[in-house]
A = this chain, B = another copy of it.
Amino acid sequence: MTKSKQKNTEDNAEKKIVEAARKLFTSKGYDAVKTRDIAEEAGINIALLNYYFRSKEKLFEIIMVENMQKFFNGFSQILNDEKTTYRKKIELIVSNYIDMILKAPDTPLFVLNQAKLYPECVQVRKIVMNSCFMKQLQDAIKSKEIAPINEINLMLNIVSLSIFPCIARPIFQTGEGSLTHDRFVELMNERKKLIPKWIFATLKIK
């Protein structure tokens, strides 16, 4: 079968194009990236991009779906795990997002920019409101274990504290005497423990 003669090699053109597109689209967005940039980054000819993916738009879609999944998949799994407590879920959401951010620092801003353009593509509120996590939370409020809190507020707080620091990082990372990469990683790893503590403290307020 001559068709699959390239399937075994690791760095074929198709793969290199996707990798280049992932890097560029994720960090700069659709409009700022030119097909010629992708071709150069991948070390191939522009014509090949169209040969494999038909258009810039189709290629972008692949990268967008990838990023959306990276951003939301772990999240909804954690929220609906019947075996963990709501407190454990909070810890897991935080560490899950911080790990993701340290590995793929461009993904959050990419996803948020995309979500602004196409809000209809992202359906998080429903996922959150119908989740196992929400039920556990409402039970804890009913039994007076924790003080009443608006569920949207709580969810916003958890993701804000986890994700925003990575988005705002360029603002805090100025020239001299500033937040180095290593220090930032250290800080975010500390926050894995601290954010759940802070969140639990807010749940005690009457």
**Chain A contacts to B: CB under 8 angstroms:** 29-32, 109, 112-113, 115-116, 119-120, 122-126, 128, 150, 152-153, 155-157, 159-161, 163-165, 167-168, 170-175, 177-179, 187, 190-191, 194, 197-198, 201-202, 204-205
Contacts and interface: CB of A to CB of B under 8 A. Distances in A.
Contact of A125 (B113, B124, B150, B178): B178
A156 B187 CA distance: 11
26 contacts: A29-B31, A30-B32, A31-B31, A31-B32, A112-B170, A115-B168, A120-B174, A123-B174, A123-B175, A125-B171, A125-B172, A125-B173, A126-B177, A152-B172, A153-B191, A153-B194, A155-B172, A157-B161, A159-B168, A160-B161, A160-B164, A164-B164, A197-B205, A198-B202, A201-B202, A201-B204
A180 to B, nearest CB: 12
A109 B113 contact: yes
A35 B169 CA distance: 31
A164 B174 contact: no
A116 B94 CA distance: 23
A116 B201 contact: no
Contacts of A115: 168, 170-171
A-B complex: 6 closest residue pairs judged by Cβ atoms: A31-B31, A160-B164, A119-B170, A164-B164, A115-B170, A31-B32
